[in-house]
Chain A
């Protein structure tokens, strides 16, 4: 029972985080005139789908920190694997990262 409650709470938190991430991302790209076939969701790819460049990632990270009210998030853990840079980042990756670090 305890584990069920804990896992339910964890799911709620993850859901809230995902909602906030998508909200921040939606606000960030609303002026980009993107032609998207579907709404932003957990599987949206920052680079392939939204055309993110370096400065866009910086702005997105700053916006996330401000929205969650948390400074100093270790975003390099999100963007690097085994000492090399990741080729793509999905919204769900960002959500997982925030869930682990908030």
Chain B
């Protein structure tokens, strides 16, 4: 039986990879593209890791699976807002791992966002975004952790995520941290590669899937060192040194891909995907400040301002304490959300009453789109979606309004003297178009097709495994990439709906507001992200 390998490259973009393929930095990827199929892969409405990876492995949109961001806002009775961390229990849909298991096939899932606490799979599961101290809780079966811990090829702690390091993606690095940061990403990606290869050699499952998140981490902080559009005419020694380190990162990435594909063997259908693309952000837009000036948000007296182009506060207790919640009607909770949440009003707290919601949102949308940069007179917010007014069911906590900035960047939630502030240097940010590469016995050769959607990945993986797809998946099998395109006929699973996840180890009911309050209170107490 043919096997399938999926390699996720977080944040990978052809705008970087194609030049690297051309200049010899990534020769193996070039070979995969030349011998296979490639296309842009369009991300979720907000091209962001949590909604995008979960959409990719469930085949459902964020408004169905319910994960829109790293954090989710909740409301207390007194009108205050707190943020809790999304985890596997918040995913309202069945994953590809469970779909595969239902048909008697085994699956290996490595380093995907949102898979912790770990749940039962027939195969192996190791969640991404888990600090090394808690990797045991992020792995299934329980013996998997002990096996990983005993491996000599790498220090198992390399598989973990250091939260204090992760925050630097948004806040930046000081100069003497740069080399270590790049080396850390190489080390982590190589550790996941080694684990993936080890499992393929020792206990191969029909589906093996792994994410390498180094590209995203590196590109956020070093975009201007790798994007040809931003290279200085006369780079200094320091710039050349950092750029060389970045290029070596991509060369190692290519070796990692080669290692996994060769270990998988020629009878394996391989796909490479990314959750979103990347590009430059050249300014900071202070969206909560914009709301404040319209009387919709009230700053607390000690609100931190956005000095040095920061998008968010260093500490969560400051983050949550910036806003006078009782006097606030609309707010953006996190930079990564690129969203505005509208509070519902009641007798004691500010907010919008149900009967006024439509008019409120329509007016706010118009104001957002009408807003002009005082310096240039140009439009700043180029797209606004009223998510709860589209006639589509949604899982809470759906943002009321999603916005897209003219430079594709993330907003800042801090207080500021100005709404729009140019960045001193361009930084990396997300773009909607990620990458798709396919190679293998069932895939055409040397073809580029029109952009696909990441919702197509679950149906495609099921097809490669010879399995039917639940009818309620939102994507399709992109038959145009298949050698047997002419003979392709969709296979629909009956009954025709995906099944909600069953957590075998720890049964959990729907989360209560109190649970989330407890979790985020702890984040406040211990200064979320020390």
Residues of A near any B CB (own CB < 8 A)? 27-32, 52-59, 61-63, 65-66, 71-76, 79-80, 85-86
Q: Does B468 contact A (CB under 8 A)?
A: no
Are the C-beta atoms of B530 and A75 separated by less than 8 Å? Answer: no
Are the C-beta atoms of B525 and A85 separated by less than 8 Å? Answer: yes
Nearest CB in chain A to that of B87: its residue: A62
Are the C-beta atoms of B528 and A76 separated by less than 8 Å? Answer: no
Per-residue contact bits, chain B 501-530, to A (CB 8 Å; 1 contact, 0 not)? 000001011011111011101111111111
Are the C-beta atoms of A79 and B522 separated by less than 8 Å? Answer: yes
Known A-B contacts A66-B508, A75-B521; the reply to A56 vs B514 at CB < 8 A is: no
Residue pairs across A and B with Cβ atoms less than 8 A apart, 25 shown, are: A27-B136, A28-B134, A29-B133, A31-B133, A31-B145, A54-B526, A54-B527, A55-B134, A56-B131, A57-B525, A58-B523, A61-B519, A65-B518, A66-B506, A66-B508, A71-B514, A72-B512, A72-B513, A72-B518, A73-B515, A74-B517, A74-B518, A76-B525, A79-B525, A85-B524
How far in angstroms is the closest Cβ of chain B from A82?
A: 14
Q: Does B85 contact A (CB under 8 A)?
A: yes
**Which range holds the interface residue count of chain B?**
20 to 34
Are the C-beta atoms of A63 and B133 separated by less than 8 Å? Answer: no
Are the C-beta atoms of B525 and A80 separated by less than 8 Å? Answer: yes
List, in ascending order, chain A residues with CB within 8 A of B512's CB.
71-72
Known A-B contacts A31-B149, A79-B521; the reply to A53 vs B515 at CB < 8 A is: no
A interface: dominant SS? helix
Residues of B near any A CB (own CB < 8 A)? 85, 117, 131, 133-137, 145, 149, 163, 317, 506, 508-509, 511-515, 517-519, 521-530
List, in ascending order, chain A residues with CB within 8 A of B117's CB.
62, 66
List, in ascending order, chain A residues with CB within 8 A of B514's CB.
71-74
List, in ascending order, chain A residues with CB within 8 A of B519's CB.
58, 61-62, 75
List, in ascending order, chain A residues with CB within 8 A of B521's CB.
75-76, 79-80
List, in ascending order, chain B residues with CB within 8 A of A28's CB.
134
Expressed in whole angstroms, the Cα–Cα distance for A1 and B131 within the complex equals: 51
Nearest CB in chain B to that of A63: its residue: B137
Expressed in whole angstroms, the Cα–Cα distance for A85 and B315 within the complex equals: 14
Nearest CB in chain A to that of B316: its residue: A54
Are the C-beta atoms of A57 and B517 separated by less than 8 Å? Answer: no
Are the C-beta atoms of B134 and A71 separated by less than 8 Å? Answer: no
List, in ascending order, chain A residues with CB within 8 A of B136's CB.
27, 30-31
Expressed in whole angstroms, the Cα–Cα distance for A57 and B519 within the complex equals: 9
List, in ascending order, chain B residues with CB within 8 A of A86's CB.
525
List, in ascending order, chain A residues with CB within 8 A of B511's CB.
71
Are the C-beta atoms of A54 and B506 separated by less than 8 Å? Answer: no
Are the C-beta atoms of B522 and A54 separated by less than 8 Å? Answer: yes
Expressed in whole angstroms, the Cα–Cα distance for A25 and B392 within the complex equals: 44
- Most chain-A Cβ atoms within 10 A of its Cβ — which of B134, B137, B511? B134
Expressed in whole angstroms, the Cα–Cα distance for A99 and B527 within the complex equals: 26
Are the C-beta atoms of A65 and B515 separated by less than 8 Å? Answer: yes
How far in angstroms is the closest Cβ of chain B from A68?
A: 11
